Chain A
């Protein structure tokens, strides 16, 4: 049976070129960068080149890019350590109600420890309002943490406007760009971003490696302390093979490639929506079809709970998800959709996320639309039968 993967927002398969890069490095570069001998020196140069690739991708300076084990570690480092080091200047933080758990959990933890955290609500398209943000901003706000785009709906957040507003405020601006890197061009300087998090495994790179961008004027203590790697900001033997893999994956998503994929994804999304309509599936888009990352589409498939539909589609060979992978393991309702539709639990429970990737063809999307239509119609018929 052919298998189709539509869960690229959870993780992406590693690109063959990236596996090659990692394999080569695992064989060739086994030295420890911290060693003084030759191995160390040669690898330091290659490390610098890899850092440059990432720095260029987001328009950061070379000394502003750090490697971590992934976005979750980056988010934890930025939020916890900013709170710790700036608590004398203020104890107020602003975030949104729909962040990834690695932001939400840390914020909730800080709230328990006596910090005042504002969780901005979202409208039914899944984004925050600038009016709400302005109203929440206070003189003692030390950090604003808002994702570039939501991981379940792809809905974009008003990053540019917030960056503009914060130009005249002492609060630091953190953006979790885990879902955005590689599918959209990010310029931290233009957007006024002080901190940014991202992961390699969302852009066809390996798991276990991530990025932390830190404006050079923002000083926070390390979360992982020990040796003097990463300019004393992140301890642990430098993971060269995965860093090179990350840089390779980033190169494969350069701006020319991004533009190509944006067009392909948008076409595939339009095709999917068109076909579902033609096949008589009753559905609605969660979020905003146009104001979203190009590869994510969240749909309310009316009449069939996602915990029924998804296992059936899985049997048919289609891998997709309800919430994010990180909350999907649990049976909880999606916190993102709940925030968007607080009075419509049925909608929350009948929604699925389709996230496209390089390995999807237009024919795959057509097959998906047919599979959904078949399963939905079958489910409705069997329900009607049961009723009669």
Chain B
């Protein structure tokens, strides 16, 4: 079996699973309880929080636990907008965001907010001047992702932050769900970025848990009110086993980052060497530092992405078309449309996304499979 769909979700790391099980058994308490079991659970909660702050080297930023990336995005986009609606009604997001950001923005449009959707350049990056031109006096929030989930395009967050330095009143949110394990933290953690959302299961942690990094002086309305947990910013009994497991997964991901990057580059080169030689393949995530090496987006021109997926699946090889969240609908990729890719590329889009558990021999096998597949699917081309 070859699993190359790590941008959709990653298999949990056995060491992370171990933490999850051990914490479930050893710390059964509710952190809000005052007795010993409650205090022990609180210790695990706060240790995990501190661990995340240490790993990411956070200064002047706090960590808040959520149920995942979608909740984090909803919390910040809607929470900041609702909190600041007296200051302005204009929001800027990129057109290539994850559905959680885009649909939260659409919900706000229905409530009377105005949203500008920034188009990417032909490489799939948001240009600083595009952002600069969109900013208005009443802009309250800008949300741009760190790494695009379909193309792997790394967004120029530092340059975008430079633009926003001139507008200290604007809140800057970054969906960093795809960033962990793909870049060093310095790229997506700078002083100008106020909020970031993360999801545990994208870096070999469990599903159903995520976190938001927030600026303590930037206010937002809670999305889920309740028992005062998380400083009153997010109600609900804290999911201690998953939180501890996620902190562990984050650490393991950072321990491995250089080694993995090297491996991904090598794997991507193997794939590109094959794809570039064959004119029927069209590569979106080219050989450039713009793209994180673990996400490779391409198309077999003239063959629908789905046909390829199902062909490969029969050989126990799993890749995807667009993002998992939109692939179910068979809708064309909004990311490639925003990049103005030709129709035949959009229809044929394929995404290979690598994870720490993958190795080079798998990529070699995958290339062999593609080669054989092309012979079989020739009739379509």
Contacts and interface: CB of A to CB of B under 8 A. Distances in A.
A19 B242 contact: no
A73 B67 contact: yes
Interface string B1-34: 0010100111110000100110011001111111
Interface in A29-53: 30-32, 34-40
Contacts of A329: 31-32, 34, 227-228
A199 interface: yes
Contact of B24 (A206, A237, A321, A326): A206
Interface stretch (B138-146, B257-265, B317-325, B332-340): B317-325
B240 interface: yes
Contacts of A13: 28
A69 B236 contact: yes
Interface in A285-329: 310-311, 314, 318-322, 324-329
B74 A10 contact: no
Interface residues of A, number: 74
B201 interface: yes
A153 B239 CA distance: 25
Interface stretch (A164-172, A238-246, A250-258, A367-375): A238-246
B237 A14 contact: no
Contact of A76 (B24, B37, B208, B226): B226
A38 B223 contact: no
B120 interface: no
B100 A208 contact: no
B373 interface: no
A3 B36 CA distance: 10
B181 interface: no
B67 A35 contact: no
A279 interface: no
A326 B309 contact: no
Contacts of A239: 67-68, 207-208
A143 B163 CA distance: 47
Contacts, number: 263
B74 A237 contact: no
Interface in B92-127: 98-101, 103-104, 106-107
B229 interface: yes
Contacts of A120: none
B348 interface: no
Given A14-B24, A228-B329, A237-B324, A72 B235 contact: yes
Contacts of A101: 225-228, 235
B306 interface: yes
Nearest to A235: B70
Interface stretch (A184-192, A219-227, A379-387): A219-227
Nearest to A318: B35
Contacts of B356: none
B12 A225 contact: no
A207 interface: yes
A15 B103 CA distance: 38
A102 interface: yes
Given A23-B21, A35-B320, A102-B226, A237 B28 contact: no
A36 B321 contact: yes
23 contacts: A7-B29, A26-B12, A26-B20, A30-B3, A35-B5, A35-B328, A37-B313, A69-B67, A72-B226, A72-B235, A75-B226, A102-B224, A206-B241, A207-B239, A209-B208, A224-B67, A228-B99, A237-B69, A314-B35, A319-B29, A325-B38, A326-B237, A328-B38
Nearest 4 CB-CB pairings of A with B:
A326-B227, A227-B325, A226-B100, A208-B239
Given A35-B8, A238-B207, 18 more contacts: A11-B29, A19-B25, A31-B5, A34-B324, A68-B67, A75-B226, A201-B237, A224-B70, A224-B74, A224-B100, A226-B101, A228-B329, A235-B325, A237-B8, A237-B207, A240-B207, A310-B35, A319-B38
